[in-house]
A and B are shown apart, each in its own frame.
Chain A
Amino acid sequence: MEKTGAQIFVDSLMEQGVETIFGYPGGNVIQIYDALYDADINHILTRHEQGAAHAADGYARASGRPGVCLATSGPGATNLVTGIATAYMDSVPLVAFTGQVSSALLGRDSFQEADITGITMPITKHNYIVKDISELARVVKEAFYIATTGRPGPVLVDILSDVAAARTSQEDCGPVNLPGYRPVTEPDPEQLNRAARAIARAERPVIYAGGGVVSAGAHNELRLLAELILAPVATTLMGLGGFPGDHPLALGMLGMHGSKYANFAVNECDVLIAVGVRFADRGTGKRDLFARDAVIIHIDIDPAEIGKNVEVDIPVIGDVKKVLAGLIERLEKKLPGAWQEKIQKWKKEYPITYEENGRLKPQQVIREIFKVTNGKARITTDVGQHQMFTAQHYTFTRPRTFISSGGLGTMGFGLPAAIGVQVACPDEIVFDIAGDGSFQMNVQELATAVNYQLPIKVAIMDNGYLGMVRQWQELFYNRRYSYTELINPDFVKLAEAYGAVGMRVTTPDEVASALQEALDIPQPVVIDFVIEREENVFPMVPPGAPLNKMLG
């Protein structure tokens, strides 16, 4: 039977088990949209292609399944770029499809033409341009395979509009043949033995866990290993939830806005077990002083991460879950000693806290969100002070419950990501904790939430500033607040204009009841928390300083 390229596209998605795609139509994907009209695939129409990419990303982070987004050529495709780069930096499995002008127009600077494969080369794991219908099914198959295996990442497939319209009776798409792509998942026993010997000898071990633990589904193995060797666990921003934040061995986040005890522990450890991390500068502080007395064991599925940022003593390449299981097999139970005592002492001495002074503080709001949801919400954030407050003051106990742009630091991520999360987890509470600045970067997606009746709750930490930049200006630029003050719209009215429910909270004693009220409303709700304007995120490791030199 003859099929069009668009039908092959839709069939290929079905074959991959894709249930939902996030997209925005346009001239050069109109054929594909025509095929989607009859397809058994849920399509979410966002209000901007960037929203579609972040929503697909949020869907993937929450569910562990690949997120799929679709946009037209030219501006549609370039609007995906920030979302693709966000997914790339955080190793999120995302498959982005874009329409392209027809072959007769390709390369002529035609209407709505952009070289999106060229543009996205540095921010995708791989990308394709499909110029022949005979390649389409194979490319879609390969794209999903590449996005989801090894170190996950975004893959872009650019489809010429005449390929979508062409017809073929060819059934078989041909085998996936990628001779240059062979991710190593099975760890080498010798590497495992070396790592196990170093851990067995350790007197002051620390585990440094990142997003790789979450994406590999290795949280149980991580907990078992930590309990076996009694190693305290510090996580990166991306690793939050990969280890239960309420566990006695939990150190919370390390790095620039990490806890003092996490940073002290990493600074003084003798063996650092780095699991699924890439030693990003926000986590390590001054690199050459990072864990400088420690034997560093680096566990990662991507060999290119070994030695990229810090020198590693013992690398273990492989799937994090398998590596951790291999280590557990090789190690014996340890007994608590002076190191564990010291950690507990630090935890008592330097708790993550904030000053209550009768005014509305973001930390209180975040702690209250934890309380009213029993810690069971899925939290998305934007980027800035509110993000760091969330990382510090909300206790994440389960993987895939903290969904935030780590590596790229994308303002405007939270709301569209929350849409993707709510679609992936329809029965769960989804909270987007936003800043007043970043909320406005993709505020149009409120319309999407209302359109699909997604009962997302948005908590805006509204201080009328680009808070994090203002904090840096206060601390390092002599309080010269250069263009960081915001004149905002009335967020309550704005929410209402979009058909959502708007609320405003200005005092500490209204917080709990407002949150409860918002939870009881089965619609999108925006709560404008008018917070203390010049609250700062502490502790803070100043940029370029070692981890044990913290402010606050």
Chain B
Amino acid sequence: MRHTLAVLVENNPGVLARVAGLFSRRGYNIDSLAVGRTDNPAISRMTIVVEGDDRVLEQVTKQLHKLIDVIKISDITADEYVDRELVLIKVSAEPEKRGEIMQIADIFRARIVDLGRRTMILECTGNEGKIRAFEESLKPYGIKELVRTGKIAMLRGSRYTNINTNGAREDE
């Protein structure tokens, strides 16, 4: 099963290497890892998608906790959350195909962010399923280049993952 972890870490140099290194040397499988700083510049947040059963998840969580730079870990898999990925796709777009591609972009609420003589770059955000469907529908035109951010996620409603909350989550 795939789990989504929201991990707050100190924004220190090397923290990404510590986290990524832990996964590789303990033999855990990272599906995706996205990292960026939070509203507090001293704290970064990682969204880690990891594959494994409950036993693996328990160990992943405990081993992550051992890292001095890791402040907090919440497994939000079982909760209601919003998740997004961003993808940029450069696709072959001969002038006669442009119309079709723009229609596809419309359906997926994607944006065209660059237009070349024979190519277009499209930007799309959404959950993993939508991104996959978008990619599939562009494949026939010839994808020249594709880049994805990895998943970021946030709990729905009034609950949040934040450094000041004691447990994993807190209701307002």
Residues of A participating in the B interface, judged by any CB pair closer than 8 Å: 117-118, 121-122, 125-126, 129, 146, 178-181, 302-304, 306-308
Say yes or no for B58: interface residue by CB 8 A criterion. yes
A447 to B167, CA, bound (A): 56
A residues within 8 A CB of B63?
304
Say yes or no for B14: interface residue by CB 8 A criterion. yes
A178 to B65, CA, bound (A): 13
Q: Closest CB-CB distance, B66 to chain A, in whole Å?
A: 5
Q: Closest CB-CB distance, B26 to chain A, in whole Å?
A: 10
A304 to B10, CA, bound (A): 20
Residue-wise, chain B 23-58 has the 8 Å CB interface mask toward A (1 for contact) of: 001000000000000000000000000000001001
The answer to whether residues A179 and B71 also contact, given A118-B17, A122-B25, A307-B55 and a CB cut-off of 8 A, is yes
A to B CB contacts below 8 Å, 18 in the list: A118-B14, A121-B17, A122-B21, A125-B66, A125-B68, A129-B13, A178-B68, A179-B163, A180-B9, A180-B68, A180-B70, A180-B71, A180-B72, A302-B66, A303-B65, A304-B66, A306-B62, A307-B58
B residues within 8 A CB of A117?
14
By beta carbon, the residue of chain B nearest A122 is B25
Closest 7 CB pairs of A and B: A304-B62, A180-B71, A126-B68, A181-B68, A180-B70, A179-B71, A304-B63
Say yes or no for B69: interface residue by CB 8 A criterion. yes
Q: Closest CB-CB distance, A437 to chain B, in whole Å?
A: 29
Say yes or no for B109: interface residue by CB 8 A criterion. no
A residues within 8 A CB of B9?
180
Interface size class of B (residues with CB under 8 A): 20 to 34
A302 to B63, CA, bound (A): 10
The answer to whether residues A304 and B65 also contact, given A117-B14, A121-B18 and a CB cut-off of 8 A, is yes
Q: Closest CB-CB distance, B80 to chain A, in whole Å?
A: 27
By beta carbon, the residue of chain A nearest B63 is A304
A126 to B65, CA, bound (A): 12
Say yes or no for B104: interface residue by CB 8 A criterion. no
B residues within 8 A CB of A304?
59, 62-63, 65-66
A residues within 8 A CB of B14?
117-118, 121, 129
Q: Which of B25, B55, B62, B67 contacts A180 (CB 8 A)?
A: B67
Q: Which of A126, A181, A303 contacts B62 (CB 8 A)?
A: A303
A residues within 8 A CB of B67?
126, 180
The answer to whether residues A146 and B65 also contact, given A179-B10, A304-B59, A307-B58 and a CB cut-off of 8 A, is no
A129 to B10, CA, bound (A): 15
Q: Closest CB-CB distance, B93 to chain A, in whole Å?
A: 41
B residues within 8 A CB of A306?
62
B residues within 8 A CB of A125?
66, 68
B residues within 8 A CB of A121?
14, 17-18, 21
